[in-house]
Chains A and B, each alone.
Chain A
């Protein structure tokens, strides 16, 4: 800032001749014509800031019409470009968030729900296999293997999409560690079962404990984390781009004022450049408001009719899986665990079964309320029917068990025709249908929402540049009248 002045210091006479030519800024003394002394003699004026100089120059310019026009032109161009830039920036943000909703956070939240579901499914299948004894049926084995496979696949996908040090990543790592452990325990249980040793059952209990106490809670954590992320992405995509809209309105107002001013001074109605600029800015603003509103309403739809239904259905499906697991465990444990509620002693697993069924009931009612078309309602209605039948059959299976007819009770739960397994499978299949339908609806609405913002950032930028060019041309035309 305040360096020893290079140009104004007196050159040491004779000395350092070669350095001299670089130093003296010749034009300066020339401009200050009249001061006949070459170089050094006037006392160096304190240098002023560029801003202050600029203000001075502006003040000087504002006294003449061309100067004023120049300032107005510059301000208008600046305003229009700022409007374009802010619009591009804000809509890019929102488009990216909408894209995340569609392509990242919703699939991830769905995946997390699938991880939970397939883990619970595998565990339920494993306990059914145990109930069936060494002769595990093919369906229960397939079901178990499918559950494990799905969980493993979705875990990889979730891992690829999570940030390295996020809580999701830690949960996924934990699940990844537990899954082979669990599988190992189940395989040991199967081997011992085939040899006829009851220690197989002990392994199954241990595996079940690991699933219930460590894996499912972790999967549930993952699901709620991903759901929170989904909500956050919705939160980023939906708010109106107020800054861009405000700048747009301001730019339009300024353009209108400039034209009014020009009309008053020249009595000419139209200035082509300014009119073009106004048109471009108006289109950009309209595009912004309409595009974003459409996107917003589509996204809102995708949330109300897609995500909310999906959440409710996922939860209902998980409740039905838990209920099935507890129904099996009631028979596996054979009265080993009890729970005291008030004065009454209940079988712990049957108590949980009733609770799960309550949750399923509520979930299905809610899903039916949220279903907005026939295709969405139909599978839910089917699930409700299956659930009612399940409850009925479960009650009679329980009665057999209470009466000590264990084998009959077992047949009524895992046997073929007329067993509760049919109802559970029915509920599960219907809910899978309903989930598929709602997923489609979500995709449609969210896709429409994202598409409504397609091109908006680029379009806004281009229009803003056009508008700025219009301003410059229009003002330039007026300026040329002063030459």
Chain B
């Protein structure tokens, strides 16, 4: 039976499985340490489209189609899709989903959107509201730079705390039918704002939210960090990771042995000059589907806490001198031994 845990968590008694995951990324991501793991590496930054925004839509579309194929279903089998991206008003998702012809909920959770999408999709399946439900997100370096920072040809120096927006998309199909990875619970994140205003240090803006969600998850499920093989954050980067460790230590938790960060996994800063790590809602989605999910299915990791993190700011809030609040949405994914 499904059960509410604490104030922010849900334990799924009903069985929710991730029956497929697919990822499509850009060239730089393909050259990174996880390069061989991705389903597709698109070398053309425009992906054959005319604009960066359309390119992002295209990547998202390919990821969605691949996830549908891998699940062995048709797109019409999907009851609904939870999708989001980083563009204003989530247009990358809108133009992609217009082609897919499937009922849709559009989401915005900044870089945490994959956590949000997986949580809602899991609730939909566990509640019996959909036999097949998809979680889908994307981001694109160029469209994000254009949206949030400078035109690409503008000369500027990036601080070492800056992250590199991942060009890529990840999609998961969730269903009640058995597979190697089961979502057993979620913890909905609260918005946490420590008053930081530096949008070029997003790791520091999001780390307090990650800390909050991790602590809440551990308390709600009465677990210790050791109960997870891995605790995987979305895109805190190297700076955010250090801060997360420090903040958790104050709460009496040490997760240094379990912790991985998708942003730090996807790029090799020493070679790729990305600084703190990758970011964007395509980052956690692509790393989860290409790297984390296969390890859970194979049983290398038995139980994983996956929590994409988001920095909730806009161009306007930045211009008006507002702080950058953070959020982290956690999903518990467990290995399921195959019967035969």
A-B interaction? no
